[in-house]
Amino acid sequence: MVWCAAELYQTIGCEKRESAATRKAQELLKHSLCLLDQNKDEAVDEAVVRNQLAQTWADLGKPERAAEEYKKYNYAGLNNSSIGFLLTLCGRYEEAGTYLSSAAVNHLSGLIRVVMGMADCATHEGNLSQAQELLSWMRSILSGLRIPGKVSYLDRAEVILLSRQARYSNAAGDMAAAEGYLRRAAGLALRFDASPEYGMENIRFCHTAKPVLVYDSFGRTAFQDLEDSLLHGGEPDSSSLQELWRKIKDEP
């Protein structure tokens, strides 16, 4: 009840710009920290409350204090976007750029996983066209972040999306489209593996003096991962797609 009341006061303070309501929210949030052992909601823990407290400082027009509070509970970089934005308000642009670039990596990787999951749900429901639309939309986002002529992690990410589109085309009986997706995927995989780049330097809008690296769990190399997913992915009715892959791979 205390935490719910704090949320209500925080909302009132933010929407109506009433600093008294925001300070009341701070008071209640601090009190709720003492009551966490009574909490039954798994979605609420100390980090959640601490981050809400950080936001109240931003609501009170104190972005620097808010950024410092967010930093204290920045598990796995979850607060990077908030910290980066607040630092821009303080004029600390170089430091903000590092946090924002890291946030961009995390959000982009997360969005790719969300889209792949949604596409798989669509295929399970028999909606292959929607699955293809989702993956094409994701690829258009990656395309907008590319720097022409530069190799980046975006190439490897697109290989994964293209391989899924090839599988969905195979499931729909459109082998011409499947072949097109596979050829594009193979070309991008070889291009990436020839000069792998896991930094942010070759991605548009991501500028930071401090290197930010991207890691994934998709395989050893882009080409090996592509081949493994096609030959050992365990997809039903994949023999025709595997035959098509061997044809493409064996070409001079």
Does the global pTM surpass 0.85? no
Task: Identify the pLDDT of residue 192.
Answer: 93
What's the rounded mean pLDDT across residues 133-159?
A: 94
Q: Average of pLDDT values for 61-87?
A: 95
Every domain range in the chain assigned CATH 1.25.40: 2-91, 105-250
Section 192-218 average pLDDT: 71
**Token reading at 49:** 């409350």
Among 3.10.450, 1.25.40, 1.10.3470, 3.90.320, what is the CATH number of 105-250? 1.25.40
**Class of the CATH domain delimited by 2-91:** mainly alpha
